[in-house]
């Protein structure tokens, strides 16, 4: 399953003399039809180049032999290390088992896998301190990579071909290092000595010899690869980088603009002297000769007749300056424009070239390329055509660098790629049909049995896999179903599936899944599917695609498993801090925010929050928002944090609210120095206030939705809300309220003022003003309300934003009480319009014959039936609602708004009092109505309740109380009622209001700020864009803020002066470091990784527990030895002593050790 062909094991290494070189290999058949004059020029140039190339080739082979001789004969050589050949390493099963047992014992002896890796490097550096200079990566990173490599190689011991690929890949990764036999021997001996010290007798002689053979094999492979392939790979890397660097051709093509005017003169002379025209064109377009000939013949669709300036190849801008551009140009010129499959090769070629040193990755890329080619073409694919176009493009892009060595290297690369492609070329279509037929033939019962068998077989092959499959069986079956879909989908949509695999692999990085489990899982799946069908083509298709998927996942997990992710998976603050401390200072933020593999990436911080690793997430946030500085620059991770996670505030509010204060605190810097009782404070509000597009950020909206009054009072959020309110939102908000105030004044004049006032207006004028005011109310206010509510209802219903009120669906905007009040007010105005008395009187005849009706009067025979209800009643309700709509004007002042909110909180307490008062009044009224009395104050329940309520409100006259004295029984009941209501209930109400006010007072400012934030969020969208941009530009967020006098630091904030007593701080929160200022260097240790008090106490507690357990275990031997002392176990530990003879006595040696 895992063994894939690779070019070293397949004998694909081509010697320079064996490579096809010269005219026949690099010219297509169409080029042989060139003009005779051009062919003669080519032959002359090729003769000259062949003479020099042969000398270069002989010289390079001689240098290779000298290097090989130096390496093999170096000091410290060991004849057991084979560097002359590179064959497969085959060990017997017992040796492999002994090696694996010894390896497990070594890891168990260490605290962790990372600790075991660091122990190996410590042993190596102690034996050869000079080798420490070769390992430039941080010790923790290097140890993790080393342990991963050894784990993978141990897992591949049973598959020599796969082991060879891994050793070969490791060799390619060490091409830039001076690896010699002497250093391999030191590395081997130090590891073997460490194994012997740590394992002792647990390491058998067979295991020792196996480890020795493996380490010698790896060392020999590294040297062999370096000797045979380093020059070629270096040429490929350097030339590919130049070929894709547009800036590398500025000097080469930069003079074209100056030659545009001279080009016209040369074209005018072209007819008289064609040779000059040809020379000029050749100098202007320094591409390959084949391309030049095509241009001259006019056979390309991209180039027209060379005789006109308009037909030039886009002058300077149209000159191909990268490999992709040049390849497309040459492909069109050479007649390969209809070869669509070349586009697929071109899309994958960058990955192929960059991973030529990684055999497994190269094979994977070629397999994916075969699938992509199969999707775009069904005919025969002529792979040599790509080679000819590739070499022509590279020669054009590298005219100053191209040599025979480049010809050899790039031809060698393509020959190996071509052989890998031909292994499976043409098979995917047949495989897809067979596999689809197999999967479609499975019914539900057969598929269920198949899935069940896969897990049973897998758990037998890898029992440890049961620890990672913790979900229910139904979910596990869903996983296998998705595997089936992916195995088939990779034939149909290879590009999409490859991207999905990268994302899936990164998720498995977060899950912490060991890559060793993929091999047995794939083997178990293929075994079960093989037993379920006799279709060999389907089995081959299933095995090939599943192996490709597994290799891609393993590679993604391996590349994405960083030491930061390991610390996050362990949810350990200490591990995360230790991992981050290894990062270069210029990449420290990237280590915590992005792990990218292929086209997909995962954020360690986001994964920590999603998986519940809040301790690790808190460590990451704290480290990102810590300001560090050297002499050259400041380092602050806020920019990278909000660029990677613009919604980090929303994420923390929903997933980890306890971490949000730490994030907000990290955006504030306070100076430890004070001046005149004031402290300089920098608030870095840029990303909380402005989004990436320059608009209003959603931070305040998220805070308002969370309804967290404590968070709303945070200093940085209070600053932002006050700033936006004063300078942007307040004016727009008040302008919106002016309209409502005007409508309220009109309504007030028409309904309450002119009807009941003694203004110096005659009745006719008064009626005229009332009529005009009411017309304005009905047209402007009622019309605006109808349009606004219809628009909002249509918007919510169209988007499906509804709320359920039992079985009735209502638009979601009606969740706001002010919207409901507005809707009810519109209904009241509509009823008033329908029952308007003036309109009724206008349409009716006069009351008396011959008498003229007064204009716009409200008093007529037709209005008698609607005098009070409904017109007057709904007019009263509308007046209440108009005034209620102005309540939110209180947000102008936070103190007033807080008072209004507290009053709202008290309403519930008052409602409880009124409910109790109603119940008690009803009870006593019903009771008194049963008595026989001479007065009618309590005659019936309604009259009784009214009288009792008058007593409570002190409206019951003293004369009536005197009448009650005539009936003692009634008087006694009334007295009891008054005691319960006036003394008990009223005092209870006062106590409730007092307690509720105390409870609300602490958070009332927070709720007031929440109310203001809500108004800001609703108002800012109506602010003109120009006004918003003017506001943000006035903040000058792009200017660097001053920390202390003359110390200009980080941009993106606002500076304020606050009282020194507000936030006392005597420690400089900026961590400053001396030494080197290189961005590639990690920060020096500042003691932040030292154990805190809690860690020290936990460690002491652990030590005491272990010591007590050891002493308790030894106590029985003490008693058997005849030692005195009463009691057993822990009761006698204080006075006992233990010596080698097991005799007790009065010595306190053990107490001293404890």
pLDDT digits (tens, 9 = 90+) for 473-530: 888 888 899 999 999 999 999 989 988 888 888 888 877 788 888 888 998 999 999 8
CA–CA distance from 604 to each of 134, 577, 617, 990 (Å)?
Answer: 29, 13, 8, 54
Express each pLDDT in 1107-1136 by its tens digit. Answer: 887 777 665 544 444 444 444 333 333 333
Q: Determine contact, residues 670/679, Cβ cutoff 8 Å.
A: yes
CB 1125 within 8 A of CB 1144: yes
Q: Using an 8 Å Cβ cutoff, are 214 and 153 in contact? A: yes
CA angle (283, 287, 292) in 5-degree steps = 80
1060-1099 burial, b at 16+ Cβ within 10 Å, e below that, comes to: beeeebeeeebeebeeeeeeeebbeeeeeeeeeeeeeeee
At 1119 the pLDDT is 44
Q: Is pLDDT of 299 > 50? A: no
What is the average per-residue pLDDT within 558-582?
Answer: 86
Which regions of 1069-1122 does DSSP assign to beta strands (E)?
1071-1072
The model's pLDDT over 587-615, given as tens digits with 9 standing for 90+, comes to: 999 999 998 877 678 899 998 998 888 99
Q: Compute the distance between CA of residue 418 and CA of residue 364 in angstroms, rounded to an integer.
A: 14
Share of the chain above pLDDT 90, in %: 27
Alpha-carbon span 383 to 344, nearest angstrom: 12
1033 has pLDDT over 90: yes
Which of 316-320, 435-439, 1136-1140 ranks highest by mean pLDDT? Answer: 435-439
Q: Which of 287-296, 428-437, 823-832 is predicted least confidently?
A: 287-296
Is residue 759 very low, low, confident or very high in pLDDT (cuts 50, 70, 90)? low
DSSP assignments along 621-663, one per residue: HHHHT--EE-SS-EE-THHHHHHH-TTHHHHHHHH-GGGHHHH
**Is 703 in contact with 717 (CB distance < 8 Å)?**
yes
pLDDT reading at 245 higher than 90: no
Contact 833, 778 (CB under 8 A): yes
Taking the C-alpha atoms of residue 550 and residue 548, their distance in angstroms, rounded to an integer, is 5
What would the mean pLDDT of 1-24 be, rounded to a whole number?
34
pLDDT band at 287 (very low <50, low <70, confident <90, very high): very low
Lowest mean pLDDT, pick from 67-76, 289-298, 342-351, 905-914: 289-298
Alpha-carbon dihedral 776, 777, 783, 788, rounded to 10 degrees: 130
- Alpha-carbon distance of 1009 to 1014, in angstroms, equals 9
Q: How confident is the model at residue 637 (pLDDT cuts 50, 70, 90)?
A: very high
Residue 838 has pLDDT above 60, yes or no: yes
What pLDDT does 493 receive? 92
Residues 6+ apart with CB under 8 A from 122: none
Cα–Cα dist 299/295, whole Å: 7
Residue 1131 is predicted with a pLDDT of 37
| Whether the predicted pLDDT of 139 surpasses 80 | no
Signed CA dihedral, 1024, 1026, 1027, 1028: sign only? positive
Whether the per-residue pLDDT at 918 is higher than 60: the answer is: yes
CA distance 733 to 948: 48
- The token pair at 786 is 């109808």
How high is the mean pLDDT of the chain?
Answer: 78
The pLDDT-based confidence of 952 (bands split at 50, 70, 90) is very high
The residue that leads in pLDDT, 736 or 1095, is: 736
pLDDT category at 256 given cuts 50, 70, 90 is very low
Q: What is the pLDDT of residue 175?
A: 65
Q: What is the DSSP secondary structure assignment for residue 780, as one 8-state letter? A: I
Query: Of 599, 417, 434, which is closest to residue 506 (Cα–Cα)?
Result: 599
Is the confidence at residue 777, as pLDDT, over 70?
Answer: yes
Spatial contact of 1080 and 588, defined as CB atoms under 8 Å apart: no
Please give the average per-residue pLDDT across 385-409, as a whole number.
Answer: 90
pLDDT for residue 511? 78
Residue 837 to residue 856: CA distance in whole angstroms: 9
Q: Which of 902, 894, 896 is nearest to 726 (CA)?
A: 894
Q: Average pLDDT in the 92-98 region?
A: 88
The average pLDDT across 912-934 equals 90
Q: Work out the average pLDDT over 42-56.
A: 45
1104 or 628, which is more confident: 628
**Angle at the Cα of 887 from the Cα atoms of 881 and 889, rounded to 5 degrees:** 135
Distance CA 613, CA 133 (A): 36
Among 545-559, 800-814, 840-854, which stretch is predicted with the lowest mean pLDDT? 840-854
Tell me how far apart the alpha carbons of residues 108 and 118 are, in angstroms, rounded to a whole number: 14
Q: What is the torsion angle, in degrees rounded to the nearest 10, for the CA atoms of residue 31, residue 32, residue 35 and residue 36?
A: 140
User: Looking up tokens 């410290």, which residue turns up?
Assistant: 76
CA distances from 943 to 29, 933, 935, 946 (A): 117, 14, 11, 5
| Choice between 52 and 507, residue whose per-residue pLDDT is larger | 507
pLDDT at 760: 54
Spatial distance between the Cα atoms of 333 and 304, rounded to a whole number of angstroms: 12
**Which of 1-10, 511-520, 665-674, 905-914 shows the lowest per-residue confidence on average (mean pLDDT)?**
1-10
pLDDT at 392 over 80: yes
| Maximum average pLDDT range among 109-123, 171-185, 744-758 | 744-758
pLDDT value of residue 257: 41
Separation between Cα atoms, residue 1006 and residue 538, nearest integer Å: 67
Q: What is the mean pLDDT of residues 835-859?
A: 70
Residue whose C-alpha is closest to residue 1023's, from 787, 739, 686, 733: 733
| Contact assessment for residue 1030 and residue 727, using Cβ atoms and an 8 Å cutoff | no
| pLDDT band, very low/low/confident/very high, at 623 (cuts 50, 70, 90) | very high
Which residues lie across from 456 on neighbouring strands? none
What pLDDT is stored for residue 1088 in this prediction? 57
285-299, 311-325, 428-442, 1055-1069: the lowest-pLDDT one: 285-299
How far apart are alpha carbons 569 and 612 in whole angstroms? Answer: 10
Give the confidence band of 372 by pLDDT, cuts at 50, 70, 90: very high
pLDDT at 1036: 92
CA pair distance 1084, 1095, nearest whole angstrom: 22
Contact 1012, 901 (CB under 8 A): no
How far, in whole angstroms, is CA 888 from its chain's centroid? 38
User: From its phi and psi, is residue 1022 left (phi > 0), alpha (psi between -120 and 50) or beta?
Assistant: alpha
pLDDT of residue 199: 83
E strand or H helix at 671: strand 668-675
DSSP letters along 728-759, please?
A: IIHHHHHHHHHHHHHHHHHHHIIIIIGGG---
434: pLDDT confidence band, cut at 50, 70 and 90? Answer: very high
Q: Identify the pLDDT of residue 601.
A: 82
* Total count of residues recorded for the chain: 1154
- The enclosing H or E element of 987 equals helix 986-1019
Give the model's confidence band at 304: pLDDT under 50 very low, under 70 low, under 90 confident, else very high.
very low
- Residue 229 is predicted with a pLDDT of 77
Lowest-pLDDT choice from 309-323, 670-684, 686-700: 309-323
What are the distances in angstroms from CA 504 to CA 451, 458, 792?
20, 20, 42
pLDDT on residue 800: 87
How many angstroms separate the CA atoms of 766 and 496, rounded?
Answer: 77
**Cβ contacts of 562 within 8 Å, gap of 6 or more:** 141, 144, 579, 591, 595, 604
Question: Residue 744: pLDDT above 50?
Answer: yes
Confidence category of residue 1089, pLDDT binned at 50, 70, 90: low
683 bridge partner residues: 668, 1054
């Amino acid at each position: 399953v895992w063994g894939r062909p690779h070019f070293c094991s397949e004998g694909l290494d081509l010697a320079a003399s064996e490579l096809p070189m010269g005219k026949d290999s690099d010219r297509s058949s169409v080029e042989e039809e060139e003009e005779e004059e051009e062919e003669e020029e080519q032959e002359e140039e090729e003769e000259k180049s062949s003479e020099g190339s042969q000398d270069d080739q002989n010289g390079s082979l001689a240098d290779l032999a000298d290097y090989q001789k130096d390496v093999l004969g170096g000091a410290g050589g060991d004849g057991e290390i084979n560097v002359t050949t590179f064959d497969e390493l085959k060990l017997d099963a017992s040796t492999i088992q002994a090696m694996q047992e010894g390896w497990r014992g070594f890891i168990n002896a260490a605290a962790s896998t990372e600790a075991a890796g660091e122990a190996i490097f410590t042993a190596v550096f102690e034996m050869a301190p000079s080798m420490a200079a070769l390992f430039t990566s941080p010790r923790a990173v290097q140890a993790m990579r080393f342990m991963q490599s050894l784990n993978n190689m141990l897992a591949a011991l049973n598959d020599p071909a796969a082991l060879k690929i891994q050793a070969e890949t490791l060799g390619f990764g060490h091409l830039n290092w001076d690896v010699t036999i002497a250093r391999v021997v030191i590395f081997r001996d130090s590891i073997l000595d460490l194994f012997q010290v740590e394992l002792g007798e647990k390491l058998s002689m067979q295991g020792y010899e196996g480890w020795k053979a493996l380490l010698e094999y790896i060392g020999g492979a590294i040297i062999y690869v370096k000797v045979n392939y380093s020059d070629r790979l270096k040429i490929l890397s350097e030339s590919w980088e130049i070929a894709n660097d547009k800036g590398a051709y500025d000097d080469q093509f930069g003079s074209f603009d100056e030659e545009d005017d001279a080009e016209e003169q040369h074209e005018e002379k072209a007819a008289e002297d064609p040779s000059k025209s040809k020379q000029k064109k050749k100098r202007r377009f320094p591409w390959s000769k084949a391309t030049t000939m095509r241009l001259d013949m006019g056979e390309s669709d991209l180039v027209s007749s060379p005789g006109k300036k308009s037909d030039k190849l886009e002058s300077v801008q149209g000159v191909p300056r990268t490999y992709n551009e040049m390849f497309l140009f040459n492909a069109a010129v050479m007649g390969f424009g209809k070869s669509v499959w070349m586009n697929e090769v071109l899309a994958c070629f960058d990955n192929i070239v960059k991973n030529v040193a990684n055999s497994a990755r190269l094979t994977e890329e070629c397999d994916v390329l075969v699938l992509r080619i199969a999707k775009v073409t069904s005919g025969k694919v002529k792979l040599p055509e790509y080679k000819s176009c590739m070499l022509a493009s590279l020669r054009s892009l590298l005219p100053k660098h191209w040599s025979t060595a480049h010809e050899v290297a790039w031809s060698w690369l393509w020959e190996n790629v071509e052989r890998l492609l031909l292994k499976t070329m043409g098979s995917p279509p047949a495989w897809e049909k067979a596999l689809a037929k197999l999967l479609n033939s499975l019914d539900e019962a057969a598929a269920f049995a198949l899935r069940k068998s896969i897990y049973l077989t897998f758990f037998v092959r890898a029992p440890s896999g049961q620890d990672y499959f913790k979900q229910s069986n139904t979910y596990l079956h869903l996983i296998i179903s998705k595997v089936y879909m992916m195995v088939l989908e990779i034939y149909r949509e290879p590009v999409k599936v490859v991207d999905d695999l990268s994302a899936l692999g990164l998720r498995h990085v977060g899950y912490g899944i060991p890559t060793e489990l993929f091999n047995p899982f794939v083997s178990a799946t293929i075994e079960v599917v093989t037993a379920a069908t006799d279709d060999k083509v389907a089995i081959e298709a299933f095995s090939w695609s599943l192996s490709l998927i597994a290799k891609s996942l393993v590679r993604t997990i391996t590349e994405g498993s960083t030491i930061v992710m390991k610390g996050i998976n362990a949810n350990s603050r200490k591990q995360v801090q230790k991992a981050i401390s290894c990062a270069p200072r210029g990449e420290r933020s990237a280590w915590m925010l992005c792990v990218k593999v292929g086209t997909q990436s995962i954020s360690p911080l986001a994964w920590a929050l999603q998986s519940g690793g809040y301790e690790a997430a808190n460590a990451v946030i704290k480290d990102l928002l810590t300001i560090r500085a050297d002499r050259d620059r400041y380092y602050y991770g806020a920019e990278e944090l909000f660029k990677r996670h613009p919604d980090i505030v929303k994420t923390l509010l929903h997933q980890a609210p306890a971490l949000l204060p730490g994030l907000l605190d990290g955006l504030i810097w306070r100076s430890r120095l004070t001046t005149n009782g004031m402290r300089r404070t920098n608030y870095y509000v840029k990303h909380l206030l402005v989004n990436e597009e320059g608009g209003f950020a959603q931070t305040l909206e998220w805070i308002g939705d969370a309804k967290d009054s404590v968070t709303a009072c945070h200093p940085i959020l209070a600053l932002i809300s006050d700033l936006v309110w004063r300078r942007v939102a307040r004016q727009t908000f008040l302008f919106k309220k002016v309209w409502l105030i005007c409508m309220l004044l009109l309504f007030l004049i028409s309904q309450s003022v002119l009807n009941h006032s003694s203004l110096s207006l005659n009745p006719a004028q008064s009626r005229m003003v009332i009529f005009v005011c009411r017309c304005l109310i009905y047209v402007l206010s009622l019309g605006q309300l109808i349009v606004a509510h219809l628009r909002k209802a249509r918007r919510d219903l169209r988007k499906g934003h509804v709320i359920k009120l039992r079985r009735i669906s209502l638009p979601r905007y009606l969740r706001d009480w002010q919207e409901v009040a507005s809707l009810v007010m519109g209904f009241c105005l509509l009823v008033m319009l329908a029952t308007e008395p003036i309109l009724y009187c206008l349409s009716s005849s006069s009351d008396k014959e011959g008498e003229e009706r007064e204009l716009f009067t409200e008093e007529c025979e037709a209005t008698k039936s609607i005098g009070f209800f409904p017109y007057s009643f709904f007019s009263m309700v509308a007046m209440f609602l108009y005034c209620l709509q102005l309540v939110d004007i209180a947000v102008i002042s936070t103190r007033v708004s807080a008072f209004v909110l507290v009053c709202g909180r008290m309403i519930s307490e008052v409602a409880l009092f009124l409910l109790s008062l109603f119940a008690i009044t009803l009870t006593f009224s019903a009771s008194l109505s049963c008595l026989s009395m001479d007065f009618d104050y309590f005659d019936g329940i309604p009259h009784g309740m009214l009288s009792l309520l008058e007593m409570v409100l002190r409206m019951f006259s003293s004369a009536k109380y005197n009448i009650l004295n005539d009936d003692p029984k009634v008087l006694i009941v009334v007295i009891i009622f008054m005691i319960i209501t006036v003394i008990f209930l009223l005092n209870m109400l006062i106590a409730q209001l007092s307690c509720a006010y105390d409870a609300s007072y602490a958070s009332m400012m927070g709720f007031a700020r929440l109310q203001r934030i809500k108004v800001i969020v609703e108002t800012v969208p109506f602010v003109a864009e120009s006004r918003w941009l003017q506001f943000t530009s006035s903040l000058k967020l792009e200017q660097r803020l001053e920390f202390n006098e003359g110390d200009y630091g980080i941009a993106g904030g606002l500076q304020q002066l606050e009282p020194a007593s507000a936030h006392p701080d005597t420690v400089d929160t900026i961590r400053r470091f001396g030494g080197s200022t290189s961005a590639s260097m990690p920060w020096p240790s500042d003691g932040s990784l030292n154990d805190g008090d809690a860690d020290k106490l936990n460690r002491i507690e652990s030590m005491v527990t272990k010591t007590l357990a050891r002493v308790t275990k030894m106590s029985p031997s003490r008693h058997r030895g005849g030692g005195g002392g009463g009691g057993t176990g822990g009761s006698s530990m204080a006075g006992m002593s233990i010596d080698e003879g097991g005799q007790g006595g009065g010595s306190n040696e053990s107490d001293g050790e404890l």
